[in-house]
Structure 1
Amino acid sequence: MPDADGRWTVEDHLRGAPVEYVELYRAVEAAIHACGPVIVSPSKTTITFKGSRRGFVGARPTRRGVRGYLDLTRSLVGDRRILSSSPYTGRLHVNQYRLTTLADLDDTFISWLQEAYRVGQGDHLHG
């Protein structure tokens, strides 16, 4: 539930979620913060992490795992964690994902977070 001013918080998204997926969300959150400075922007639908130029990743615990999106310059279709991918702008694809275990947060997924972080910093605009 949003606060008295109608703003959503990270805690609103965590409340009532299965403990294992809250823990998995916290691991994803830590991996995102390890990429560099971010602004955390919770809304009704997700928790968005923003770089200096734009939001680049979203995450939230659900009853079936941690769901979110990665904004990348490419599609990640073909990996079992990727639910869908679609062009978002002329340069970007939004890749919807679901993680269900801590093992899903592997080196490959971490590299995608790092790649998305660079999109959040606007690196995709200089190439």
Structure 2
Amino acid sequence: MTDAHVWTVDDHLHGASPEHVALWREVAGLIEACGPVEVVVHKTTITFKGTRRGFAGARPDAGGVVGFLDLMRPVDTDPRITSVAPYTHRLFVNHFRVRSTTDLDDTFAEWVREAYAVGAGAHLD
């Protein structure tokens, strides 16, 4: 019997360009600046969980950083948002791609804060 691989943050960062690793660290820093989070690593992404639920995920790829933010609204008018899908009747999974630190502006930071609130259960009110 073989042991199942336990995925780590380093697994996702390994082999990525230094610029995209640095960009991922910036995204993670924005998320972690909101308050306490639990980092849970899966084969497909690095997920950030709040006190109630996961609310964001991100990983570097060949084009920058891809990820998702769970929000109580769709964001469909911004080129950083690549797709939006309803998750529940109150939540929308907003998939994003950022290519440089200029993409991490005040608007992106506000989306992160909104997602963090979802992680704390804001969608249950």
Q: Which runs of 5+ in 1 are unaligned?
A: none
Number of aligned positions between the proteins: 123
Of all paired residues, the percent bearing the same amino acid is 57
Cα drift, residue 5 of structure 1: 4.9
Residue matched to 2:77:
78
TM-score, structure 1 as length reference: 0.95
Taking the TM superposition and a 5 Å limit, the aligned residue runs for 1:30-69 are 30-69=29-68
Residue matched to 2:117:
118
Letter aligned with residue 121 of structure 1:
A
Q: CA offsets, 1:10-59, max 9 Å, x none?
A: 00000000111100000111111100000000100000000011000000
Cα drift, residue 99 of structure 1: 0.2
Taking the TM superposition and a 5 Å limit, the aligned residue runs for 1:15-30 are 15-30=14-29
Classify the secondary structure of the residue corresponding to 1:24. helix
Residue matched to 1:14:
13
TM-score, structure 2 as length reference: 0.96
Classify the secondary structure of the residue corresponding to 1:78. coil
Q: Which runs of 5+ in 2 are unaligned?
A: none
Measured in 2, the distance between the counterparts of 1:54 and 1:19 equals 30
- Compute the RMSD of aligned alpha carbons: 0.8
Letter aligned with residue 39 of structure 1:
E
Classify the secondary structure of the residue corresponding to 2:82. strand
Letter aligned with residue 13 of structure 1:
H
